[in-house]
Structure 1
Amino acid sequence: MKIFEFLILGKNEPILEILLRLVNAYEDWNAVGFSDENAAQEYFLNNKIDIVLLSSGIEDHVEKEFTSFCLKQQPDVEVIEHFGGGSGLLKSEIQHRLHLKGKI
């Protein structure tokens, strides 16, 4: 079974913690979270990431720069903006994206 590696970037700590808990609840998903984009970039450079989740509190220019950085370093990475809607919506968003890319 493939384990999908996630990087979650968000400035709202309570929401970041919730997203980490939700993603890590699935046995084939593994997530790490960051509230600092520089630390997230450093981690991204040193690890193979399948999915980047962008959460709340990120400034527009940071979101664009981080997305561009990720896609330049790992063109196959999926970058998903997730700003709420419950755990069912999150899972559906992720599975839909992975399905479209033929990864599941």
Structure 2
Amino acid sequence: MTKINILYISPNKYNSIEVLELINANESWYGFVVNNEEEAVLLFSEYNISMILFGCNVNKKKQNKLCHYFKEINPTIIILDPYGGGTGLLSHEIISAFNKEESI
């Protein structure tokens, strides 16, 4: 079974652990967490990432630059921008985003 790769970008290392655990609790998903844009670009180039989640503390200018980069390489990438709804809503947001993409 191929897992869906999800990349979470946030400078908040404490929150990153919680989000990673929540993503990986779904057996269909595999989560990656990075704390800066250099790591995000490197990981994105190495793995088939299907979704990007931005933490709410990512600098807006850096976030826009990354979104442009990701979309240029993969126009179908799903980006939740910024994710800040609390981890209780995260699974629902991810599922909703994938369902919305499939219905297009």
Q: Work out whether the TM-score is over 0.5.
A: yes
Q: Which residue of 1 aligns with 2:44?
A: 44
Q: Which residue of 2 aligns with 1:82?
A: 83
Shift, 1:39, TM fit: 1.3
Counterparts of 1:20 and 1:28, CA distance in 2: 14
Give the share of equivalent positions with the same residue, in percent.
21
Counterparts of 2:91 and 2:20, CA distance in 1: 12
Counterparts of 1:61 and 1:48, CA distance in 2: 24
Q: Which residue of 2 aligns with 1:91?
A: 91
Q: Kindly report the root-mean-square deviation, in angstroms, between the aligned alpha carbons of the 2 structures.
A: 1.4
Q: Which residue of 2 aligns with 1:4?
A: 4
Flag structure 1 segments of 5+ consecutive residues without an equivalent. none
Residues matched between the structures, number: 102
User: Contact between 2:18 and 2:87, CA under 8 Å: does it hold in 1?
Assistant: no
User: Contact between 2:20 and 2:33, CA under 8 Å: does it hold in 1?
Assistant: yes
**TM-score, length-normalised on structure 1?**
0.90
Shift, 1:45, TM fit: 1.3
Q: Which residue of 1 aligns with 2:57?
A: 57
Flag structure 2 segments of 5+ consecutive residues without an equivalent. none
Shift, 1:2, TM fit: 4.4
